[in-house]
Structure 1
Amino acid sequence: MITNKVGNPIRVGVLGFGGLGQAAAKILDPKGEMLLVAVADRQGYVYDPAGIDLDSAISTYHSSNSVGHLESGGTLSSHSIKDLIDRAEVDGYFLALPNLPNTFMADVAKEFIASGWKGVLVDALKRTSAVEQLLELQSELQQAGITYLTGCGATPGLLTAAAAVAAQSFAEIHTVKITFGVGIANWEAYRATIREDIAHMPEYDVETARAMTDREVAALLDKTNGIISLENMEHADDIMLELAGICDRERVTVGGVVDTRNPKKPLSTNVKVTGRTFEGKISTHTFTLGDETSMAANVCGPAFGYLKAGMALNDRGITGLFTAAEIMPQFVK
């Protein structure tokens, strides 16, 4: 069992409390090895060293748009992330934040570096260019005593790691093809995630998607019957597999279908790794996720598995930037 340095459960903070952040909190709630002690949203934060009351946090967020309104431990703040970092004693944070604009996650990392905080950070970044920005902070993160694991969701993340393991059967990797299917009953539960997906659509980019009002997003989804189809996305699986020495990024493709009106997946999420064995045979490994597992389960579960692995590294003095294709996640009990 991995604990913090005083032998207690790992004290966890979640930055962002939209659909993904709330799902992350629900996944943590029954865990014994991790304790949710801190949450921040745009307007405030809550910190409770004894553990946050999840039901109260979610109901307060829905009724008041911020956990800062919580009577117990809540604080309203226009600089919620900075203020929380300064006040809370947290071993590791899951950055369940929308990377809008595309520099946002790197900017948050710089806040942690500047604060003097030491510990583990985990994100579920999607874009290759966003991961490249974090790579530029490698030495600063290392010197700051921060172990940062990036691209630790589903894709990039779970499927990237599966591809890295599957690649071991081959002498040469020809292609890695990731195809995802996501089903959600109501897009408004995952507004930031859907905007990030829209940013990958033809004729859209990060700034366009970020500037869209909820009404404009709804109008776009009306035109597509709630379906977002994506091909050849700028997805960090490519740079992560390249950094891990699996294959050149040009051999990695990512695409999928998001149904914003139906919780059932429109297609099964999978990764296919095709290569040549040492005997000269061409073959394909396929790893398919169960259709019953939600986007939240496939993103947040791995994120906390990587956070636990990051704690083990950090406790040994190993700091800097790592990806989901380099480190094996550890199961959180």
Structure 2
Amino acid sequence: MNPEQVKSSLNISPAIRVGVLGFGGLGQAAAKVLAGKREMILVAAADKEGYAYTNEGLNAQNCITTYNSQGSVGYLEPTGTLTNRSIQELIESADSVDGYFLALPNLPNNFIASVAQEFIKSGWRGVLVDAIKRTSAVEQLLAMKEELQAAGITYMTGCGATPGLLTAAAALAAQSYAEIHKVEITFGVGIANWEAYRATIREDIAHMPGYSVETARAMTDAEVEALLDKTNGVLTLENMEHADDVMLELAGIVERDRVTVGGIVDTRNPKKPLSTNVKITGRTFEGKISTHTFILGDETSMAANVCGPAFGYLKAGMQLHKRGIYGIFTAAEIMPQFVK
């Protein structure tokens, strides 16, 4: 018997073959997370200038070293390919990838939706997961539900930290109440160097007063540096357009106008400026008003709180896909499954 037949006879599922689109700070962290898993294996990675793919599995550290030294995983020997159509060509050539984590900047605001369209057009079938932020971006994907169903794609959206982990916590905590009054999500992010997460920081800037997705996307690195110099490296974000609201509304838990998201990002200090938490306030069936608070440990990084849930939802998506359940689902609808 070949190895796959042996696994089947022992009722052991083969490792889920995973691709990571985007290889900046988040994509590299995703590769490191996968390196410690046995139920998932990194077989594909793509950035703006190229991609690397091998069915045998990529070495995460080699990918990271190549990207940071030469600017693209496309330079990785012998599995890399340099191209300015990296996503499209990877989808076409990598026929054994079970699921992709879209660790991509959603700049412009329809970028993730356009990537989803590429998968639909290609005829690929499998699971996609994103850690998208904006309500309007998630709504674009929700509008593609029937297209995704027809294409045989199971899409898990809003599956990072917030939206994602904290949205799911709110959905679970809501069960104590007969009525939800408000959901407040507050995050603290600390990173030593903003350049490791350029796209993420630009997305955060887009939420600030006087800025938009378009203006943030057009900012040069020097302009971002100048803004951060003015704020001592700290971004304070309030009443953000965050998809936790539409996700909790869609799940029938609370109206979106009762959900608020905000936080502080320190781009010059790895220590979190405040503890990330979600507070769910409601009325119990006895008429008592109470608040549940779920606090993330300060030692967990943004990358840990995004990538872990993303792959947990990818695993859950694989179970749905195997059962022939396609379309789009959010972190508030499906429980993630722990990836060993």
TM-score if structure 1 supplies the norm length?
Answer: 0.98
- 1:197 aligned residue (204, 207, 219): 204
Residue ranges of structure 2 left out of the alignment (5+ in a row): 1-6
Residue in 2 aligned with 1:25?
31
CA distance in 2, matches of 1:110, 1:41: 18
Residue in 2 aligned with 1:315?
322
Asked if 1:258 corresponds to 2:265, the answer is yes
One-letter identity of the residue aligned with 1:288: I
Residue in 2 aligned with 1:78?
84
For residues 165-184 of structure 1, the aligned pairs below 5 Å read 165-184=172-191
CA distance in 1, matches of 2:308, 2:295: 16
One-letter identity of the residue aligned with 1:205: S
Asked if 1:51 corresponds to 2:67, the answer is no
Poorly superposed stretches of 4+, deviation over 3 Å: 3-7
Contact conserved, 2:127 with 2:321, CA < 8 A, in 1?
yes
State the identity %: 77
Residue in 2 aligned with 1:87?
93
CA distance in 2, matches of 1:254, 1:7: 39
CA distance in 2, matches of 1:86, 1:306: 24
Residue in 2 aligned with 1:187?
194
Residue in 2 aligned with 1:117?
124
Asked if 1:132 corresponds to 2:134, the answer is no
SS of residue in 2 equivalent to 1:322: strand
SS of residue in 1 equivalent to 2:270: coil
CA distance in 2, matches of 1:309, 1:53: 25
Residue ranges of structure 1 left out of the alignment (5+ in a row): none
Contact conserved, 2:32 with 2:61, CA < 8 A, in 1?
no
One-letter identity of the residue aligned with 1:181: G
1:268-316 CA-to-partner distances (Å, cap 9, x unmatched) read 0000000000000000000000000000000000000000000000000
TM-score if structure 2 supplies the norm length?
Answer: 0.96
1:306-332 CA-to-partner distances (Å, cap 9, x unmatched) read 000000000000000000000000000
Residue in 1 aligned with 2:4?
none
Structure 1 residue 7, shift from structure 2 partner: 3.5
CA distance in 2, matches of 1:300, 1:209: 24
Residue in 2 aligned with 1:331?
338
Contact conserved, 2:165 with 2:305, CA < 8 A, in 1?
yes
Structure 1 residue 6, shift from structure 2 partner: 9.4
Residue in 2 aligned with 1:232?
239
CA distance in 1, matches of 2:49, 2:113: 20
Residue in 1 aligned with 2:280?
273
Residue in 1 aligned with 2:149?
142
Aligned length: 331
Residue in 1 aligned with 2:167?
160
